[in-house]
Chains A and B, each alone.
Chain A
Amino acid sequence: MSVLGGLLRAGATFCQSAGTLLQTARTISTGVCCQIRMHAIPQPKKVDRWTEKSSMFGVYDNIGILGDFKAHPKDLIIAPCWLKGFRGNELQRLIRKKKMVGDRMMTLDRHNLEKRIRFLYRRLNRYGKHR
């Protein structure tokens, strides 16, 4: 391995026994490292920092404080309706989804959702240290 070769070379220079050991040190590789092979260092990808989206990012975030509290920044979020202005762990998200969207879901999705809620309820409330 190249590490062995390097160590040998370092050991040789330290011990000052020069020529013979350096010439006989051979590097072996088992084929585990150096798996990425490239002809040249790849070019960095060109990102335009001034598109419409990035230059207008964050506008209207303070619409509450500067706009008389008629709107709240959580009204600006583009998200599925059960996640707008809501944060929770998986069980809370699934329960909220079932409450808000459950009756218009497809049967297979609904069935999977209910199975997952049942599994998570049992996992979080019955087993483990934090129940």
Chain B
Amino acid sequence: IALPSNLLLPSNLIDPSRTKRSRPPPDCPLPVLRRCDAAVPSHLRPVRSWVESLQDQEGEPLGLAELHPDVFAAPPRIDILQEVELWQRNYKRIRHANTKVRSEVRGGGRKPWRQKGGGRARHGSIRSPIWRGGGVCHGPRGPSSYYYMLPMKVRVMGLKVALSSKMGQDYLHIVDSLDIPTPDPQYLLDLIRHRYWGESVLLVDVAEELPENILRATESLKTVNIIPAIGLNVHSMLKHEALVLTLDAVRFLEEKLLWHDERHTPLYPFKLPYSDFP
């Protein structure tokens, strides 16, 4: 797409240190470690990415991996990203602000002075909203919730768009497995700084029991966090600059996210048993 000739862009948009290694070319001597399991639509090509390893600090990529374009090259729908992010922020929100109404404030049952003859304004109770110390008319009432659910396909699409944005902006890295030689947090920080991954990294793995070394290394670090693949979500992806997936995590995510493209609409909630869906 041609840009207009009189366009003035600020010079600090692209970080020059991050442009050193680009996407792998189609003809490359390294082996393709993973092909797409699901059928790729015929008008799209699989997205290729380097597969690296965390063992040596300055290791070269081990090979290539092909990623499904529907998941990792989805159209960049920022409006869906915003909807999903707002949903994540608000559906858990409980507002505990509470005020007492005039009937709930202690006291105020008796008429303070008689209706006529006092010379003062007429009043029925000391706790009416006009009075100091009286109840609030239309204040916040009790713990209230902001719960709502977006359609399942919108949430799935949000995940796909987030993954594709990370892929498209070169913030996605694929690793064969999260094994580290030492449980030292400084090793991870040096690795990340050497490879120019960014300030904050989110590590995603499928296994329920993660290797001890990396758990101990990320425990003390604030900006490097590790989560199981079930816990992947748009807010964490947007908060952390770089995303690191293992090959198993990629397979798991593709399987889960592509299933929604070709499923029937549920007759009853999916948590109840279906005959053809585990």
Q: Least Cβ distance of B260 to chain A in Å?
A: 7
- Interface 0/1 of B221-240, CB less than 8 Å to A: 01101010111111110011
- With a cutoff of 8 Å between Cβ atoms, the chain B residues found around residue A80 in the complex are 94, 143
How many residues belonging to B are interface residues under a CB distance threshold of 8 Å? 45
- How distant is the Cα of A68 from the Cα of B149 in the complex, in angstroms? 18
- How distant is the Cα of A62 from the Cα of B233 in the complex, in angstroms? 6
- With a cutoff of 8 Å between Cβ atoms, the chain B residues found around residue A65 in the complex are 152, 155-156, 159, 256-257, 260
- Tell me the residues in window 91-115 of chain A with beta carbons closer than 8 Å to chain B beta carbons: 93-94, 97, 112, 115
Are A67 and B233 in contact, CB atoms less than 8 angstroms apart? no
Q: How large is the interface on A (under 10, 10 to 19, 20 to 34, 35 or more residues)?
A: 35 or more
Are B223 and A50 in contact, CB atoms less than 8 angstroms apart? yes
Are A83 and B233 in contact, CB atoms less than 8 angstroms apart? no
- How distant is the Cα of A70 from the Cα of B256 in the complex, in angstroms? 14
Also in contact, A63 and B230, with CB within 8 A (given A73-B91, A90-B141): yes
- How distant is the Cα of A67 from the Cα of B227 in the complex, in angstroms? 14
- With a cutoff of 8 Å between Cβ atoms, the chain A residues found around residue B145 in the complex are 77, 79, 83, 86-87
- How distant is the Cα of A17 from the Cα of B27 in the complex, in angstroms? 81
- Quick check: is B131 within 8 A (CB to CB) of the other chain? no
Within 8 Å by CB of B235, from A57, A73, A76, A87, lies A57
Q: Least Cβ distance of A67 to chain B in Å?
A: 5
- How distant is the Cα of A20 from the Cα of B252 in the complex, in angstroms? 82
Q: Kindly report which residue of chain A lies nearest to residue B255, judged by CB atoms.
A: A66
- Quick check: is B82 within 8 A (CB to CB) of the other chain? no
- With a cutoff of 8 Å between Cβ atoms, the chain B residues found around residue A79 in the complex are 94, 143, 145
- Quick check: is B125 within 8 A (CB to CB) of the other chain? no
- With a cutoff of 8 Å between Cβ atoms, the chain A residues found around residue B235 in the complex are 57-58, 61
Q: Least Cβ distance of A73 to chain B in Å?
A: 7
- With a cutoff of 8 Å between Cβ atoms, the chain B residues found around residue A64 in the complex are 152, 270
Residue of A58, A77, A78 contacting most chain B CB atoms (<10 Å): A58
Q: Least Cβ distance of A120 to chain B in Å?
A: 9
- Tell me the residues in window 62-90 of chain B with beta carbons closer than 8 Å to chain A beta carbons: 88-89
- How distant is the Cα of A45 from the Cα of B104 in the complex, in angstroms? 37
- Interface 0/1 of A40-83, CB less than 8 Å to B: 00000000001100111111111111111110111011111001
Q: Least Cβ distance of A117 to chain B in Å?
A: 12
Within 8 Å by CB of B92, from A67, A72, A77, A90, lies A77
- Quick check: is A122 within 8 A (CB to CB) of the other chain? no
- How distant is the Cα of A77 from the Cα of B89 in the complex, in angstroms? 12
Within 8 Å by CB of B236, from A58, A77, A119, lies A58
Within 8 Å by CB of A116, from B101, B229, B231, lies B101
A residues near B (Cβ < 8 Å) are 50-51, 54-70, 72-74, 76-80, 83, 85-87, 90, 93-94, 97, 112, 115-116, 119
Q: 10 closest pairs, A vs B, by CB?
A: A58-B235, A69-B270, A50-B222, A59-B231, A83-B145, A87-B147, A61-B233, A67-B230, A79-B94, A58-B88
